[in-house]
Amino acid sequence: MISIIVVGVDGSAPALAAVEYAAKDAARRRAALRIVHVRPAAVLQGELNAMQDRYHQDILAAAQQRAWECAPDLQISTKLAVGPPAERLREAAGDAVEIVIGSRGKGGFAGLILGSVGLSMVGHTPVPVVVVRKPARHTYGELVVGYDGSHEAETALEFAFAEADRRDARLKLVYAWEPPSFAAHAVVYGAPIQQMFDECVASVWQQLAPWTAKYPHVPVERLALCGHPVFLLSEESRAADLVVVGSRGRGAIASLALGSVGHGLLHRAHCPVAVVTSEEDRR
């Protein structure tokens, strides 16, 4: 059975960028692409209703044309749904392997990088959600994944390795270590802090062994740095084709669907961001 990638569109520039990403990713996976547009439930009268229908159908047609321009042999279907956008998009993606959305749609405020639909989707969907801000102008051949050694991050790591394998790309694993607050007194605690850092890094790298064995052809670069993960990952995203993070890491509160790292990165990254929900959170 052929896999399906779903992309949500609303006619905005970020949505068309999402279509380009989704079409290329579907071609890599030999998957089908389902383009979904959600219109308001309000029904206008007479000619206004006909004009509204044409407007929404034109959005789907433009997205379909853009997808075929990116991947001419792609199997594409379109769906026009009615109701709350995030809810209808999740319903349309019930059998999908991935959802792709633009960072902000036509209804967003100019100062917001991630719109309300994106916030409602990311971390609340059992399949990976890729958020795209703008079209890719360069292909760097590198993916970045944030890894903190937590159980929640394992699913993101699996997604990142598989995606790098499909793209014949390098994979950069970034471990961001935040020193304890007392580490500011480096004169007193310098040596113990360095030892703590070294032990944490060694433990995390040891956990990578099964993945490097499973994907022996994926070139891996390991980067362990001290600092906030949002800042470090956003900097690494400048020369990456995709950044992958888990929906929640070690520091996340259990009741939050999207952790602070994922949330911060969605606002700061310079390339598309894939947020992968852990197996535990999917249940």
In angstroms, the Cα distances linking 67 to 17, 70, 199, 255 are 10, 5, 47, 37
Tally of CB atoms within 10 A around 251: 12
Contacts of 138 (CB under 8 A, 6+ apart): none
Q: What is the CATH number of domain 142-282?
A: 3.40.50.12370
Tally of CB atoms within 10 A around 193: 19
Helix 13-29 vs helix 151-167: crossing angle, to nearest 10: 80
Start-to-end Cα distance in the chain: 24
Query: In whole angstroms, what separates CA 33 from the centre of its chain?
Result: 17
Residue 113's pLDDT band (cuts 50, 70, 90)? very low
Closest Cα to residue 106, out of 41, 24, 20, 16?
A: 16
4-132 and 142-282: identical CATH topology: yes
d(CA 117, CA 76): 23
Q: What is the mean predicted confidence (pLDDT) over 95-113?
A: 69
The overall average pLDDT reported for the chain is 84
pLDDT tens-digit profile of 10-30? 999 999 999 999 999 999 999
pTM: 0.87
Q: What is the mean predicted confidence (pLDDT) over 209-231?
A: 92
User: What residues does each domain of the chain span?
Assistant: 4-132, 142-282
pLDDT tens-digit profile of 162-200? 999 999 999 999 988 876 655 555 555 567 777 777 777
Q: What is the CATH number of domain 4-132?
A: 3.40.50.620
Higher pLDDT, 216 or 111: 216
Single-letter amino acid, residue 244: V
